[in-house]
Structures are given as structure tokens and as C-alpha cells.
Amino acid sequence: MEAYLDNAATTPVFPEVKEIMVRVMEEDYGNPSSKHTKGMAAEQYIRKTKEIISGCLKCQPKEIIFTSGGTESNNMAFIGAAIANRRAGKHIITTRIEHASVYEPMAYLEEMGYEVTYLPVDPAGRVSVEDIENALRDDTFLVSVMYVNNEIGSVQRIGEIGEALHRRNPDILFHVDAIQAFGKYKIVPGRLGIDMMSVSAHKIHGPKGTGFLYIRDGVKIRPILFGGGQQGGMRSGTENVPGIAGLGAAVQQIYQNHADKREHLFRMKKMLIEGLQQYEGVVIHGVDGLPLEETAPHIVSAGFSSVKSEVMLHALAQEGVFVSSGSACSSNHPELSGTLQAVGVKGEMLDSTLRFSFSVLTTAEQVMYAVETVGKLLPVLRKFTKR
């Protein structure tokens, strides 16, 4: 049997996504900037996807800029906003549990003379709204907080943060990395005080290499890619029409019967946690006594005492159970997880933790197979470690 439980890394595409992408590549393959009928047919896919996304977000289609995914969206938000808002200040606030695609552009901006404040989180991985307010300065122009943490599934109080920021200073830009949240939550940026928001298609059964950045109308941001002036000059380069069409299909599918999909994910999560907790020396991170409903429905971070995470990961893979030892996007940075350290994980558990993550396609049989496989492997691997 095979149990793919690494959906926070990437998801298989929905059949509807594959179907529309093949149609675009084989039939409607024109350049959307071309003035002939092939070009106009391609452009219609872009327009339709904008309508789908803006309908979900209750925003304007012009507020959606298509990108190559979450990393580009985050980079565009930070660097583009920094360039456009130099006079507003050079201070940025974020948290200690952000994704590498936040940390790396932040480090770049620090080299350029900007100052970044990295706020701590509690044992459940949540930043304090009060800490954010206390960190604000007269020269703060940007605050970035991820909606759902990609390693432990902590959920931030985005609405409270947005309200607090704009009550204090309506000119401060609030960016949200919603890459693990979009599709799991119904997000209306206008109601949450979000000025910019990053989303990636391949986390919601869309294609890799596609995503978007929501930019509230009126937000000052400069492009970081220059060329033919596509997308109103905000992101030059011929649009990835098959990918954009696939993104639109994925968004449509993921938000159909959305409440049922969320309930399914929480069932899988509860089943896995209860199954793993029957084994000695297993710790679930990022929960800290919270009700399950206050954590992300699709992510479980579990530590296994006396077993290295890489050893457990490969042993599980040999049995057809596929998980992650952290963020898949950070595999080129093998140092211990900053997120786990930020929530107080210490000692051997820092290098003995795996991430299990589900999708709407995950079955109860797959989860139970994973639980049983862990139970079979743990005593063997622990015995091997003791040698």
C-alpha cells in the first residue's frame, strides 16, 4: 500500500486541472499578448482565472498578479514594497517561524539598509498581537505574518493583527503568506486588513510553478521584473497560460463543498494524532493544549524520541509512506528547524521530528497504514540506534 502524507510539500493535481492544462497546451496555445484569435483565446483563460480568484477573495480582478509561485510572490511583495515606500520608513516586522522565502528576501533587505524585527511565538507557534503593536515604530512600513505555519500547522490571528495595525497606522502594509492557508480557509483580505497576500497553486492540487500575489488597490509597489509590460507592467514576461488555467480550475475545485473538505482533513488529523500518541516517546508539536480546530487541518508535526528524522523518513518511504522532515523547500538548508526551536522544542527532538500532511484525497486507510507502519518501525529503529 502507498500513503502519500506530504501534501504540505506538494499535492497531486485534480483531474480537472490536468484536463484544462492539456487543452491549453494542445489547442489554445497562443501568446495572450497576440492580437489574433489564438492569442485572444489564451487571454480568456487568464481573465477567467482572475474572475475565479477574485470571486473567492471578494476583491477586484485587477488586484491579482500571477507569479511563478509563493517564493516569487513573497519576494515581489517585500522588495517591491520596500522600493516603492522608501520615504515611509525602513523598518519591517515579521516572526521567527516564517518560510525561507520570507527570511531570505528579508536578509537581502537588511543588506540594503533596512531593519527587520523578528518576533517570538508561544509554544503553539502563535505570535502575540500585543508584541506586534509594541514593536511598531514611526518608520515601520511593512509587517509580514504567515497565516499557517508550514512545519507545525500553527494558525495566526490574522484578523486581529490586521485590525490592530490599521488602527495604529493605516499606512502600514500588512502582508500575509497564505500559501498553506489558501484552500483550507475562506480568506477575504478586505475583511482581515490584508494589503498583500501570497498563494501557490501546487498546495491546492494545481500545477507547480504557478501562483499569485494579491495586492490591494492603492498599495504602492514596484515591479521587480521588467520587460514587455504584461499584467499592467507589474510582472513582465509571457504569462504561463496552462499554469494559470490550471490554477483557476484548482481554486474552483478546492472551494466546492469547502466545509466538507475541511471536516475531512480534521478527521484525518485526529485519526493520525490519536494513532501516534499510543506509542511511547511520541510528541505532537505546535498544539500546546489547543483544540484541534484552532490548528491547521492538514498538518501534524510529530517527534519520535531516540530516532533520527532522516532515518525514520527513509524507513517509512521503503514501506510506501511518504512524509517530510520539515519544509520541503528548505531541504537545501539542513540545519535544525528554526520553527521547532522557536516553539521550545529542545534536545534530540529537534532532529527527530517528521511532518505528516493531508489533502482532500487522503483516505482513512492511508492514515491507519501510516500509523501501523510507524508502530512497526519504531522499536526496530530505536533498537538499532541504541547499538
* Enzyme catalytic residues: 329
Residue 213 region by backbone torsions, left for phi larger than 0, else alpha for psi between -120 and 50, else beta: beta
Q: Where are the alpha helices (DSSP H) in the chain?
A: 15-26, 37-57, 70-84, 100-111, 129-135, 158-168, 189-192, 241-254, 258-276, 309-318, 338-342, 364-386
The residues near 86 (Cβ < 8 Å, ≥ 6 apart) are none
Question: In this structure, are residues 73 and 99 in contact, taking their beta carbons and an 8 Å threshold?
Answer: no
* Spatial separation of the C-alpha atoms in residues 274 and 346, rounded to whole Å: 23
Alpha-helical regions (H) of 136-287: 158-168, 189-192, 241-254, 258-276
Backbone angles phi, psi at 167, to 5 degrees: -70, -40
- Residue from 364, 65, 360 nearest 204 by CA: 360
Which of 62, 273, 310 shows the shortest CA–CA distance to 152? 273
Whole-number Å distance between alpha carbons of 276 and 279: 6
Distance CA 109, CA 111 (A): 5
